[in-house]
Copies of this chain bind each other. A is one copy, B any other.
Amino acid sequence: MWQLYQFPLCPFSRKVRLLLGEKGVGYELVREHPWERRDEFLDMNPAGQTPVVVDTQRGGQPLIDSLAICEYFEETVDKAAMINGTAANRAEVRRLVAWFDNHFYRDVTGLLLHERVVKRVAHRAAPDAKGLRDAMKNAVGHLDYTDYLLDHRNWLAGATMSLADFAAAAQISVADYLGGIDWKGHEQTARWYRGLKSRPSFRPLLAERMEMVGPPPAHYDNVDF
């Protein structure tokens, strides 16, 4: 049995979960708050970050780093290839995965998680209004870019759905939960996102709540929004 160490608003874990869902790989969730820096978790992953995937039956080294985890399942499970096409197509998928994992996270999701989750839960401190405003402003720039990509393509990396779409939807959904996305003026991205929201791989993620953070906006899990 695969176990996935994560918390509901970890965007990197969401990317892995979307891939596993599309591939039909079953797994059990284990709740982990990386900011607690639990000794047993650090022994497993010296980087101290979620997600981590372990095979409880066969043992072996844990799988660490969300992209390394996705590449592993892409190599070992044929169903629903998501890093697909020519070498150039695959390079474009990986470029965009890196873009959302690094830049969207740094500019938007990471800021929101810091202000609205880590500060509250770990430090019992209030979010800083400037941090939240910066994240929302940065999100507009990022959705302008996804609008631009989707003007030319059906899916973010090209003609077919790929890991790039999951990387983007993972970051956007966490930002949306935390009130960081203003959908007005981003019709291309909204249409693409509605398509993803209605997939069986995405529905269970959207149904989860993270109690200590407060509820998401009303439109968050509405597939018609």
**A interface with B by C-beta (< 8 Å):** 46-47, 60-61, 63-65, 67-69, 71-72, 75-76, 87-88, 90-92, 94-95, 98-99, 102-103, 145
A192 CB → nearest B CB, Å? 18
**Inter-chain contact B71/A91, CB cutoff 8 Å:** yes
**Inter-chain contact B98/A67, CB cutoff 8 Å:** yes
Which of B68, B88, B99, B103 sits near A94, CB closer than 8 Å?
Answer: B68
Q: Which residues of B contact A71 (CB under 8 A)?
A: 90-91, 94
With contacts A46-B145, A67-B98, A98-B65 taken as known, whether A91 is within 8 angstroms of B103 at the C-beta atoms is no
Please report the C-alpha to C-alpha distance between residue A69 and residue B90 in the assembled complex, in whole angstroms: 10
Q: Which residues of B contact A47 (CB under 8 A)?
A: 98-99, 102-103
With contacts A76-B87, A87-B72, A98-B68 taken as known, whether A92 is within 8 angstroms of B61 at the C-beta atoms is yes
Q: A47-B103, A67-B94, A72-B90 are in contact. List 20 more A-B contacts (CB 8 A).
A: A46-B99, A46-B145, A47-B99, A47-B102, A60-B88, A63-B91, A64-B91, A64-B95, A65-B95, A65-B98, A67-B67, A68-B91, A68-B94, A68-B95, A69-B91, A71-B91, A71-B94, A75-B87, A75-B90, A76-B87
Q: Which residues of B contact A102 (CB under 8 A)?
A: 47
**Inter-chain contact A88/B103, CB cutoff 8 Å:** no
**Inter-chain contact B61/A88, CB cutoff 8 Å:** yes
Please report the C-alpha to C-alpha distance between residue A136 and residue B71 in the assembled complex, in whole angstroms: 33
A41 CB → nearest B CB, Å? 15
Please report the C-alpha to C-alpha distance between residue A98 and residue B69 in the assembled complex, in whole angstroms: 12
Q: Which residues of B contact A103 (CB under 8 A)?
A: 47
* CB<8 Å pairs between A and B, sample of 15: A46-B99, A47-B98, A47-B103, A60-B88, A61-B92, A64-B91, A64-B95, A65-B98, A65-B99, A68-B91, A68-B94, A68-B98, A72-B88, A72-B90, A75-B87
A52 CB → nearest B CB, Å? 10
Please report the C-alpha to C-alpha distance between residue A60 and residue B75 in the assembled complex, in whole angstroms: 26
A149 CB → nearest B CB, Å? 10
Please report the C-alpha to C-alpha distance between residue A30 and residue B9 in the assembled complex, in whole angstroms: 41
A86 CB → nearest B CB, Å? 9
